[in-house]
Structure 1
Amino acid sequence: MKVVIVNDGGNLSVTEMEKPKITSSDQILVKVAYSGLCGSDIPRIFHQGAHYYPITLGHEFSGTVTEIGNDVTEFAIGDLISCVPLLPCFICDECQKHYYSLCKNYTFVGSRISGGFAEYIVLNKKNAFKLPKGVTPLEGAFFEPMTVGMHALLLADGCRDKNVIIVGGGTIGLLAMQCAKAMGAKSIAVIDINDTRLNLAKSLGAVQVYNSKNLSPEEISQALSINRFEQIVLETAGSPVTVKLAIEIAGPRAKIGLVGTLHNDITLSEKTFGLILRKELHILGSWMNYSAPWPGEEWQLVSQFFLEGKIKLEPLITSIGDFHTFIAQVTELNGHPMNGKILLNCM
């Protein structure tokens, strides 16, 4: 089979390898359909961020079950699945409370073990989510990034009749925005510094969009004042500037969900910190995307939204290509963020 190998130093290559075999009765063999590049893969490729080299990355993928272990009753040959990359221990105190995202004794597909940038992969049965009929393989490759935003929205007790503000109009942000709309948000605003992203957000259902490069936090806050109560503010950009902005624009007793991962230290001024107190803000850290029953309500809701036709993916996709096209697109990033999802087509 063909596999994408990431070598130390950011070099990617296509290699022929032996197709993997099931070695445990609780495993399944999957023929990968589509596999997406995650923003977290970029430092693994270009900035020595992987656990080891050489490595095959890829944790956002779908595929078809082609073989099952003797103890697998949850899946049948021919089932379409989406990868559930986390494998928690299920026995630690956190897991016993169903805080699976917080498990310390976990492994992770496409990070700690080989991932889905390959034609075939062997998975533990708990690393697979069976997709219902009507969900496509392409949609299946978006379950993992979609559930990241869903997890934060559920931590904030859902967003029905609430005013949702997305700070950061990248793929995660715009998927979360569509989920918020599907969950019955009263209003949706998106903030970014890129007009192209803001125009895309508007076409996907945002009621208000604001360019924080051109508007001050005070001006954005004033524009949002009509919907200043019952707010959920999701920070999805992962920048010290946008975390500070989220605090500054939030309304009274707003819930701020921190989704983006910072790669630089953040320092809050006395004034900005004071806003957390004076506005009685709720700061929610959100890590990964799992709950009970495993893998969680997040995954079930995403299934429902796809079946109901509430999620648009095509505008969020930069390219879908074969192994060599995929490598060329990723290499072209040269360590910079993506502008839209890059996918490997293994079908």
Structure 2
Amino acid sequence: MKAVKLYEPGNLKVEEVAIPVIAPHEVLIEVKAVGVCGSDIPRVLHKGAYSQGLTIGHEFAGVIVETGQEVQQWRVGQRVAVAPLIPCGECVYCKDGLFSLCDTYDYYGSRSDGAMANFIKVTPDNLVELPDNVSYEAGAMVDPAANAIHGLWAGEFKAGDSIAIFGLGAIGLFAIQFAKELGASHIAAVDIHEEKLELARRLGADVTINSRLENPVAVLEEKFGGMNFAFDTSGSPIAQDQAVSSCTKKGRVVFLGISHAGLELSKDSVNKILRYELAVHGSWNSFSAPFPGREWTYTTELMGAGKLTAEPIISHRLQLDDAPKLFDQIKNREIIFNKIMFYPQEGQTK
């Protein structure tokens, strides 16, 4: 089969490798769609993998084509999304059902071979069945969607809250839809790309702000008097500071976007945290009990009910052979993208 393998930073190769052989407790998945996560980009371009020659890719969906003899609850032919975390099950956090905080986890696509390949072997605990009306490419976006709802729940988002979402990648765009479903009073979306702001309006944002052109804190203060809830998916120190400054008294801020730079809050932001008694939360990953968590089952339920839209978020649809060139284009800033989706089966485009 084909697999996209990472050797050193920037050294990505498409290779012919053997189809994985499953153990009695595993299943073999034919990968139908696998997305590029924001975390894949620094991994491929700068940081490298945990082991040389690792197959990348952890946002994926496919169909079961083989089950080990010990597997009882799953059958060949079932369509599934796959949670990438493999928790240890033994640490204090796992025992409390806080699997996102596992001390010694494994992870498909970063520590163990991932899904940017024709096939992958996984453990059945990681499977979530897809409703018949949910596409494989939507299934491959259950992961970023689950990250979005995990963050909203971490900040105790509730009906009637107003929310400002900073950063309109896949997680931010799913957060808009979840906030609408959960009864947000107002939804504001902030980004620097007009293409993403237009998509945010289509998916339910009431107000969009191009932060290259306007100060989002000032706009939100003028329109709404500030927001109850600020949600940063960008990881940008500028946006993180703006998220804090955009909140009203007793507001909640959730930092979800991975930062690759230090954050120094402005004097005004620190004053707001103190004087407005703001709550600042971190959000990491998307898992809870029973594993992989309500985040995953709730997401697939909403997708099946037509209340969560995934396909418009995809900006690029590619084959595995396109992977090295794609990451070069990202490195050279040659493309503006949202969710990039790969289709490992020959000739498949969706």
User: Alpha-carbon deviation of 1:245?
Assistant: 0.3
Query: What residue is the counterpart of 1:205 in the other structure?
Result: 204
Measure the CA separation in 1 of the matches of 2:19 and 2:217. Answer: 57
Q: Does 1:339 align with 2:337?
A: yes
Moved more, 310-319 or 296-305: 310-319
5 Å-filtered alignment, 1:160-171, equals 160-171=159-170
Q: Report the CA distance between 1:75 and its aligned residue.
A: 1.0
- Residue 62 of structure 2 aligns to which amino acid in structure 1? G
Q: Does 2:253 match 1:256? A: yes
Aligned to 1:245: 242
Matches within 5 A, 1:49-128: 49-128=48-127
Quick one: percent identity of the two aligned structures?
A: 33
Query: Which residue does the alignment assign to 1:214?
Result: 213
1:320 corresponding residue in structure 2: 317
In the alignment, the residues of structure 2 paired with residue 224 and residue 302 of structure 1 have an alpha-carbon distance, to the nearest angstrom, of: 31
Counterparts of residues 28-43 of structure 1 (less than 5 Å): 28-43=27-42
Where structure 2 has 5 or more consecutive residues not aligned to the other structure, the ranges are 346-350
- Secondary structure in 2 aligned to 1:14? strand
Q: Does the 8 Å CA contact 1:4/1:12 hold for their aligned counterparts?
A: yes
Q: Is the 8 A contact 1:326 1:343 kept in 2?
A: no
SS in 2 for 1:82: strand
Identify the residue that residue 151 of structure 1 maps to in structure 2.
Answer: 150
Q: How many residues align?
A: 344
* Structure 1, 301-310 or 107-116: larger mean CA deviation: 301-310
Following superposition, the deviation at residue 335 of structure 1 comes to 6.5
Q: 1:171 deviation in Å? A: 2.0
Please say if residues 64 and 79 of structure 2, whose CA atoms lie closer than 8 Å, have aligned partners that are also in contact.
yes
Q: CA deviation at 1:264?
A: 0.5
Partner deviation per Cα, 1:285-326 (whole Å, 9 max, x = no partner) = 100001112111111111121112122333321211222234
Q: Which residue of 1 is the match for residue 264 of structure 2?
A: 267
Question: What residue ranges of structure 1 are gaps of 5+ in the alignment?
Answer: none
Secondary structure at the aligned position of 1:330 is classed as helix
Q: Counterparts of 1:40 and 1:12 in 2: how far apart (Å)?
A: 15
Q: Distance in 1 between matches of 2:260 and 2:150?
A: 21
Which region of structure 1 is more displaced relative to structure 2, 322-331 or 234-243? 322-331
Q: Is the 8 A contact 2:4 2:12 kept in 1?
A: yes
Shift of 1:44: 1.1
TM-score (norm 1): 0.94
Q: Which amino acid aligns with 1:126?
A: D
Amino acid at match of 1:15: E
Partners of 1:237 and 1:326 lie apart in 2 by 24
Cα distance in 2, alignment partners of residues 18 and 194 from structure 1:
42
Aligned pair in 2 of structure 1 residues 47, 131: CA closer, same or farther (>3 Å)? same
- The answer on 1:16 being equivalent to 2:19 is no
Output the CA distance in 2 between the equivalents of 1:73 and 1:287: 31
> Hey, what's the Cα distance between the residues in 2 that align with 1:143 and 1:134?
14
64-73 or 234-243, which deviates more: 64-73
Alignment CA distance shift 1:95-1:53 (3 Å): same
- How many Å apart are 1:184 and its aligned residue? 2.3
2:340 aligned partner, one-letter code? I
Where 1:254 maps in the other structure, the secondary structure is: strand
Cα distance in structure 2, aligned partners of 1:187 and 1:74: 43
Letter in 2 for 1:50: A
Partner of 2:160: helix, strand, or coil?
coil
Aligned CA distance change for structure 1 residues 95 and 214 (closer, same or farther; 3 Å): same
Q: Which amino acid aligns with 1:159?
A: K
Note closer, same or farther for the CA distance 1:186–1:271 as it changes in structure 2 (3 Å cut): closer
Q: Is the 8 A contact 2:45 2:327 kept in 1?
A: no
Q: Mean Cα displacement is larger for which, 269-278 or 248-257?
A: 269-278
